[in-house]
Amino acid sequence: MTTKLFFKTLNLEARTTMSYRFDFWISAVIGFIAEFGAVWFLWNAVFKESNSDVIGGYSLSSMYIYYLTVILISKIVRGSRSKNDIASDIYQGNLNKYLLFPVNYILYKYAQHLGVMFPSFIQFFLFGVVVILVIDLPNDINLSFTSIFMALITIFIANILYFLMNYMLKLTAFWIDNVWSLDAFKWFIVSLLGGYMLPISVFPKNLQIVLNYLPFKFLFDFPVNTLFGKIGVEIWVKEIAISLIWCLFFLIVCRLVWKKGRLQYTGVGI
């Protein structure tokens, strides 16, 4: 796959996604308000009931900021649910077309994934600018150029990691007709253990140790904490290395599953 094709695909996908302007703005805003609203009421109640100012290292206001950020970051990490779903390619037989093209399927899909993600990236920046201008950041959040720069790299890797995990799961469509139930299960695991539903520091200490050895925290918790300046450079470099190893691991698994899966493929639909 040539670089030119990679960027051409990315560009095309981004343009198509942005051409659905209604979807782009309305669904983004409404979804955001709904999700954030739920969190707002929940944590308000939790802090009130517990009579403490700090839970898991977060004050109420920094908890809000955490969710604000994690919701935005997750949009970039996940990309939106797209029509380019790998499982439906397999299920409906669109894969035939890609098998005939002299391109690497996984790279092609990644280019599309990045393209769909791109508009979310713009949203992230716009919302981010608004937040910084409007809200007084609590003391425990130290936003700096270094932390923003580090966070961007972290988010980029989280995006790759999420893509690979998703890709691996979706490849099971070679064997199972309906992977969407698995998909829901995956999101439950990933959002719970990755720090999307709750910051990982809220969990019991033992569980936190276990989560440290799993790849999920690199998706949400780690990028947010990096952005908030809570991670020192030295530790950051080490963690980035570990997350890259996880990426490599999933890439290898994906290749194996792809090889096995193709043997099962019947090229449905024609």
Partner 1 sequence: MPLIKINNLHKKFRVHKKEEGFLGSLKALFKRQYIDKEAVVDVSFSVGKGEIIGLLGANGAGKTTLLKMLTGIIHPTKGNVEILGYNPWDRKNEFLKEISLIMGQKAQLWWDLPAADCFLLLKEIYVIPEKQYRETIEELSIKLNVKHLLNIQIRRLSLGERMKMELIASLLHRPKVLFLDEPTIGLDVKSQRVIREFILDYIKKYSPAVILTSHYMDDIQYLCERVLIIRSGKIVYDGLLTDLAQKYSPNKIIKAHFKEKQESLNILLDLQKYGEILHNEKEQIHLMVNRENISNTTNYLLEHYEIIDLSIEEVDISITIESILDNKKLDSINDY
Q: State the residues that interact with partner 1 by CB under 8 A.
A: 2, 4-5, 8-9, 12, 16, 93, 96-97, 99-103, 262-263, 265-267, 269-270
Shortest distance (Å) from residue 87 CB to partner 1: 18
Report the distance separating Cα 18 and Cα 6, nearest Å. 18
Shortest distance (Å) from residue 254 CB to partner 1: 16
CA angle at residue 240 from 57 to 249, to 5 degrees? Answer: 120
Residue number, 61 or 104, with CB nearest to partner 1: 104
Shortest distance (Å) from residue 25 CB to partner 1: 20
CA 82 remoteness from chain centre: 14
Shortest distance (Å) from residue 92 CB to partner 1: 10
The values of phi and psi at residue 258, to 5°, are -60, -45
Shortest distance (Å) from residue 53 CB to partner 1: 52
Residue number, 97 or 205, with CB nearest to partner 1: 97
Instruction: Taking the CA atoms of 9, 10, 16 and 19 in sequence, report the sign of the dihedral they define.
Output: negative
Shortest distance (Å) from residue 94 CB to partner 1: 9
Residue number, 241 or 270, with CB nearest to partner 1: 270
Phi-psi region of 38 (alpha: psi -120 to 50; beta: other; left: phi over 0): alpha
Shortest distance (Å) from residue 148 CB to partner 1: 34
Alpha-helical (H) ranges within the chain are: 3-19, 21-22, 28-50, 60-78, 86-92, 95-100, 105-134, 145-170, 180-193, 205-212, 221-227, 233-264
The values of phi and psi at residue 81, to 5°, are -60, 120
Token pair in block for residue 232: 């020192």
Residue number, 4 or 81, with CB nearest to partner 1: 4
Indicate the length of the chain as a whole number: 270
Residue number, 116 or 158, with CB nearest to partner 1: 116
Residue number, 22 or 213, with CB nearest to partner 1: 22
Q: Is the distance from CB of 157 to CB of 240 less than 8 angstroms?
A: yes
Residue number, 51 or 266, with CB nearest to partner 1: 266
